[in-house]
Amino acid sequence: MKDPRVQSVQRPPALTVLALLAPFLATPLFVALVGWMRGCPVGNLNGHWCAVGTLIIAVGLGLIAGVLLAIAALKRGERYRWLGWFALVINALPLTLILGWAVSGLVRSLLDAPAVDQPSAQRERPLTRSPAPGETLPSGTLLYSATSAGEIRRLVPDGQRLAPLAVGLGGPHDLHLDGGEGPLYITQWGGPVVRVLDLATAALRTVYTGSGSGGQGIGVDAAADSLFWGEYYGGLYRGSPDGEAPARRLVSPQDLGVCSGGVGVGVEVGPAARQVYFFSRDNCDARGRALWRVGYDGEGLTRLRPLESSDCLTLARQDGGWLYFSDVREGRFQLWRTRLDGSEAQWLFDLPEPERPCAGIAVDTETNRLYFLQSSGEPHNVSDLWRSDLAGRGLELLDRNIPGGQGLLLVP
């Protein structure tokens, strides 16, 4: 029979201490593991939802480890039992919040019909509204992506809004159109997919599916049978407009010194010189933020100008050719232009709400008009469409609160 005078010896609080430290010790390991499994870059967690999701998952796993260690400490009967309960509570509460957020997000995604993340051809929904077969877009018509709504919207030259050109696209990003009769080439925000919408037949098909994290800019030189597009973490690629030629990567993030960020953000094609113009956006090194050009064959990669932060680019071929782009100076988002060799850089004007980035730009030099989208950024991610002259005078708000508005295009 056990002697009641003999008391059990309490163990030192080793597991309790580990439970308190688990979120801090385990999270970096889970960031590396989860980032590797999801294909996200490791070492930088700014500027992209893939990296943000990786961090949330890793923190959640660290908290789970803390909860399990705290339970083990309590069962083991370690000294300072109150500290074990404290470790359990401070791990369980944020874990409950993360799980609640994840479940609510899953429910919303199931209920949200035009969800953005539908990148692959296998999950591609049929259009809920497509252009009428044989529909022609008048010169000067504006097209832009309402990405979160899964729509391509349009305005006629006088600023009148028409019914969307197409609905149910599941997250269109950038657009390219050589003429009013199409076809219209589209990149996908939620995944590295390039699709083409034939205005003559209203048929939509996928021509390329890549391996990056999301489609970026797109440009076509039909005469050279060449299609160019960017993938956020993948690079700049070349294929053919019909999708028959195999995709070839012209520029990788390593070629630009980009450690974590976008390549091929904003793609413009110069057929005369057989050059592709694009910019890179780096989240961890300023040297990777720049405006670039490269030949159709991937040769002659040239850094034209350093950029602090740019989100839109277009090329106007009149008057010898100009590249119009956005940048940040002294904390203000501005519009600039430069020659195709990077010379004669000119500041045009500050955006009307200078704390909001540019999400798309189109220029009509014949009428001296400039159109641009300003994004609110996350978490609301809506854009406003503006029109002005090339010096920023005569500002006019054409459309507002466009869900995920980007990819502005002026029909030639």
Q: Is 283 or 254 the better-scoring residue by pLDDT?
A: 254
For residues 332 and 218, membership in a common domain is answered with yes
Q: Domain ends where: 111, 129, 146?
A: 111
For residues 208 and 313, membership in a common domain is answered with yes
Buried b (16+ CB within 10 A) or exposed e, 76-104: eebeeeebbeebbebbbeebeeeeeeeee
Distance (Å, whole) CA 358 – CA 281: 14
Cis peptide before 157 (omega within 30 of 0): no
**Mean pLDDT value of segment 176-180:** 84
At 302 the pLDDT is 94
Distance (Å, whole) CA 215 – CA 176: 13
For residues 329 and 308, membership in a common domain is answered with yes
At 132 the pLDDT is 72
**Please, which pLDDT band fits residue 112 given cuts at 50, 70 and 90?**
very low
Collapse the DSSP code of 214 into the 3-class scheme (helix H, G, I; strand E, B; otherwise coil) and give the result: coil
Distance (Å, whole) CA 24 – CA 28: 7
Structure-token match 């497509």, residue found: 130
* Spacing of C-alpha 67 from chain mean position: 35
End-to-end alpha carbon distance in the chain:
97
Q: Which of 35-49, 202-216, 398-412 has the lowest mean pLDDT?
A: 35-49
pLDDT digits (tens, 9 = 90+) for 204-242: 999 998 876 788 899 999 999 999 999 888 889 999 999
For residues 265 and 322, membership in a common domain is answered with yes
Buried b (16+ CB within 10 A) or exposed e, 29-40: ebbeebbeeeeb
Taking all residues of the chain, what is their mean pLDDT, rounded to a whole number? 80
Tokens linked to 29: 């390991």
CA distances (Å), origin 308, targets 58, 109, 280, 281, 325 = 30, 34, 10, 9, 12
At 324 the pLDDT is 93
pLDDT digits (tens, 9 = 90+) for 7-18: 455 677 887 888
Beta-bridge partner residues of 206: 195
User: Above 80 in pLDDT, residue 250?
Assistant: yes
Distance (Å, whole) CA 52 – CA 367: 43
CATH of the domain at 266: 2.120.10.30
**Mean pLDDT value of segment 125-139:** 70
Q: Is 379 or 216 the better-scoring residue by pLDDT?
A: 216
Query: Percentage of residues in the chain with pLDDT exceeding 90?
Result: 33
At 9 the pLDDT is 57
Q: Domain ends where: 52, 79, 111?
A: 111
User: Above 70 in pLDDT, residue 38?
Assistant: no
**Mean pLDDT value of segment 251-264:** 78
Of 378, 353, 364, 355, which is closest to residue 408 (Cα–Cα)? 364
Q: Is 339 or 96 the better-scoring residue by pLDDT?
A: 339
For residues 276 and 404, membership in a common domain is answered with yes
**Mean pLDDT value of segment 98-120:** 50
Tokens linked to 282: 């780096």
CA distances (Å), origin 222, targets 95, 182, 241 = 53, 11, 7
Q: Is 81 or 186 the better-scoring residue by pLDDT?
A: 186
For residues 151 and 261, membership in a common domain is answered with yes
For residues 366 and 292, membership in a common domain is answered with yes
pLDDT digits (tens, 9 = 90+) for 267-323: 999 999 999 999 888 766 667 788 999 999 999 999 999 888 777 888 887 777 899
CA distances (Å), origin 298, targets 93, 237, 238, 251, 301 = 52, 9, 9, 7, 7
For residues 92 and 126, membership in a common domain is answered with no
Query: Percentage of residues in the chain with pLDDT exceeding 70?
Result: 81
The answer to whether 406 and 385 have CB atoms below 8 angstroms apart is no
Q: Domain ends where: 111, 142, 161?
A: 111
The answer to whether 384 and 338 have CB atoms below 8 angstroms apart is no
**Mean pLDDT value of segment 340-344:** 93
The answer to whether 392 and 348 have CB atoms below 8 angstroms apart is yes
User: Above 80 in pLDDT, residue 49?
Assistant: no
Domain that holds residue 376: 121-410
